[in-house]
């Protein structure tokens, strides 16, 4: 025999479901700005899309000329801007549970009233949780594409970048070059001085390569002591010059190991994308050029020659 609690529970369940259905319908169709904004923000984890939604909803309530957002997520600057600003500004540092999630500012030609600034604060209270989730999503995505030791892109990031580069080269006809760079006799350094020194050399190498590049170039660690550099709008001759500049920068490294200064050299292979080429073949040609550099005494650069 069912007890009284069980009977009451089964009796009230349909009523609770009906109330839930009614609440959902009201939430889905509610015309007020806060409900509409939170409803829209819940549909995406794309931070740029969320910020566009915020700008659209906020300007209908509090007129402004521009909205700007800036943050640094996973070592990368994220900037969003919509409109052209005026001399007056409301700026809000977004934080939740002690964590910073960027700075949001609104601009216009006339001063904002106290009532309008209070309105912005109410909007921010509705957007902060979805925006936090979008920031965390970016950080997770970046972590999956980042080498944990050096902080540069990993092999997965390199593979994705090569696919994009091949597609862009086909679409626009501009030259793209790939440099593969391998540290010479690196195992000997690990065996002699230990992995702590070896890891320090890898980190410093990544820094030196990055400093040798333009902002449009990108560097990846795709193996133990192997690095790849992707150069847009760069011919094979110019890519060789970049590879030699990288080699000289690496050769100048000095790392303390007890009472010794440890140095290292690097070999580089260069290949320029060929029209219609599969990116795996492009990578294989760069690897062949690197093999030739190793075979010719190391600490040098070789270019995979092609016949037009």
Q: How many domains does the chain have?
A: 2
Residues 127/96, Cβ–Cβ less than 8 Å: no
On average, the pLDDT of the chain sits at 92
**Residues 40, 124: one domain?**
yes
pLDDT in tens, 37-75: 999 999 999 999 999 999 999 999 999 999 999 999 987
Residue 257 has pLDDT above 90, yes or no: no
Residues 220/154, Cβ–Cβ less than 8 Å: yes
**Residues 119, 176: one domain?**
no
pLDDT in tens, 127-171: 999 999 999 999 999 999 999 999 999 999 999 999 999 999 999
Residue 308 has pLDDT above 50, yes or no: no
Residue 2 has pLDDT above 70, yes or no: no
Active site residue 251: no
Residue 290 lies in a domain: yes
Residue 222 lies in a domain: yes
Residue 243 lies in a domain: yes
**Residues 175, 139: one domain?**
no
**Residues 104, 187: one domain?**
no
Residues 308/235, Cβ–Cβ less than 8 Å: no
pTM value is 0.75
The domain of 167 spans: 155-303
Indicate which residue of 97, 225, 226, 259 is catalytic.
225
**Residues 241, 274: one domain?**
yes
């Amino acid at each position: 025999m069912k007890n009284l609690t069980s009977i009451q529970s089964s009796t009230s369940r349909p009523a609770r479901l009906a109330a839930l259905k009614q609440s959902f319908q009201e939430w889905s169709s509610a015309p007020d700005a806060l409900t509409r904004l939170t409803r829209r923000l819940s549909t995406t984890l794309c931070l740029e899309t969320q910020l566009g939604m915020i700008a659209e909803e906020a300007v209908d309530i509090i007129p402004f000329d521009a909205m700007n957002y800036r943050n640094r997520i996973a070592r990368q600057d994220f900037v969003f801007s919509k409109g052209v600003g005026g001399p007056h500004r409301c700026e809000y540092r977004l934080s939740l549970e002690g964590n910073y999630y960027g700075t949001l500012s609104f601009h216009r030609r006339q001063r904002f009233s106290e009532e309008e600034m209070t309105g912005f604060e109410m909007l921010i209270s509705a957007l902060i949780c979805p925006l936090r989730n979008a920031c965390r999503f970016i950080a997770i995505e970046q972590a999956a594409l980042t080498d944990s030791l050096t902080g540069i892109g990993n092999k997965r990031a390199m593979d994705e970048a090569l696919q994009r580069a091949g597609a862009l080269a086909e679409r626009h006809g501009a030259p793209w070059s790939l440099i593969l760079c391998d540290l010479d006799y690196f195992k000997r350094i690990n065996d002699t001085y230990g992995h702590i020194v070896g890891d320090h050399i890898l980190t410093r190498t990544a820094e030196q390569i990055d400093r040798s590049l333009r902002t449009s170039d990108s560097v990846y660690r795709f193996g133990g002591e192997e690095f790849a550099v992707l150069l847009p709008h760069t011919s094979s001759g110019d890519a060789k010059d970049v590879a030699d500049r990288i080699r000289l920068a690496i050769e100048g490294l000095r790392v303390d190991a007890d009472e010794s200064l440890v140095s290292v050299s690097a070999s580089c292979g260069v290949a320029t994308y060929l029209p219609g080429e599969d990116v795996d073949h492009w990578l294989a040609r760069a690897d062949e050029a690197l093999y030739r550099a190793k075979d010719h005494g190391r600490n040098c650069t070789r270019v995979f020659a092609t016949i037009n």
